[in-house]
Structure 1
């Protein structure tokens, strides 16, 4: 990152955690801390951290660089609200459901975004990938052609703002910000992610998260 750049971290944390079944996901506890607390600790270095909370949920205690805003009905709306007040030259958009942030991945993202303006972490698919056919085993796909996308995702703030503006004008939604930026015709660079940065989505993910929390270090390699 250039020494003059400032970084805003945007954390959409307004999800209700329907698939997990434990209430608002950001406040589910793992290793003695909520998922949101894990994330805030990981980005304590940032110039600012902006968090979108579920409606009616009071802001928890947080550091001076953390700001809370009401979240939207969908993730994309929450990110747009967070982006409106962000002051960083670069924004990192990170899922509150990914409690374990590997610093080396963030370093790779910041180095990449400084040159490209948009970068996301990915990991390869480890399993056989098929297209099911009416509940039966279908054609196998070439898994080497695909990758799993993680967060945080890094963008020049102006680029992401333009992407959200275009999406609103066209009534288009996406499951992550990289799709919106790509729709501008803007290239999004890929950097190696880390499987420890998995997303807590299903009940069985909590067991994995609890196990990882027991051995997690402040600065994992």
Structure 2
């Protein structure tokens, strides 16, 4: 990604309510904060913008611009978009600390050609539709995918999607949903199993284990 003209947007203003350990951005895994881990694969991006919790002192020694985040992830991304100055943006979750440069490049390449892209993975487990507390109908897992970040977009397109959502009161858990609400197609690329999201306390144990071998992980860089 050397010299890539792309704006990286990282909404990191969440309070980590499900973890119950304070803002996720500042949780430490193997000596680094989740924010530090999340920023690593974007070191060669031309612009990096991070939304932090209101009232938070920006951490030092980062090649990034820090802004005050909103009440929700969606509001934080909208604020970061206002500051983005390049034609393509990559939006990444601070809670996904282990993303390879190859995934970042794959998303960026697809985004600059197609305008909207999200990385996905097949569902590995059996899916059922519960009937109360009982095992219900099995749902064909081949029909579903798990969605990850970073997601990539034409900057103007994502701004339009957020404006559209704001006018109509739409909310979404990722930006691809807002782009689809405009009727614009979102391309899919292969994601990575290691790009899991730290959501629950047991995920921190997995993150600690992955961190110990991350630099030696046999993956394309």
Q: Is the 8 A contact 1:42 1:101 kept in 2?
A: yes
Alignment of 1:107-126 (within 5 A): 107-126=105-124
Equivalent residue for 1:183?
181
Q: Is the 8 A contact 1:131 1:141 kept in 2?
A: yes
Partners of 1:133 and 1:19 lie apart in 2 by: 26
1:153 equivalent in alignment to 2:145: no
Partners of 2:125 and 2:110 lie apart in 1 by: 28
List 4+ stretches of structure 1 deviating above 2 A. Answer: none
Q: What secondary structure is seen at the aligned counterpart in 1 of 2:207?
A: helix
Partners of 2:3 and 2:182 lie apart in 1 by: 26
- Cα distance 1:62–1:4, how it changes in 2: closer, same or farther (>3 A)? closer
1:63 equivalent in alignment to 2:62: yes
Q: Is the 8 A contact 1:89 1:157 kept in 2?
A: yes
Deviation per residue, 1:36-62 (Å, 9 max, x gap): 011122211111111110111110013
Structure 2: where are the runs of 5+ without partners? none
Q: CA deviation at 1:168?
A: 0.5
Q: Is the 8 A contact 2:111 2:152 kept in 1?
A: yes
Alignment of 1:72-151 (within 5 A): 72-151=70-149
1:23 equivalent in alignment to 2:22: yes
Aligned residues: 219
Partners of 1:204 and 1:126 lie apart in 2 by: 19
- Of residues 180, 203, 206 in structure 2, which corresponds to 1:205? 203
Partners of 1:124 and 1:105 lie apart in 2 by: 16
TM-score by length of 1: 0.95
Q: CA deviation at 1:5?
A: 6.3
Equivalent residue for 1:50?
49
Equivalent residue for 1:192?
190
Deviation per residue, 1:160-219 (Å, 9 max, x gap): 000001000111111100000011111100000001000000000001000000001188
Structure 1: where are the runs of 5+ without partners? none
Q: CA deviation at 1:78?
A: 0.4
Q: Is the 8 A contact 2:148 2:195 kept in 1?
A: yes
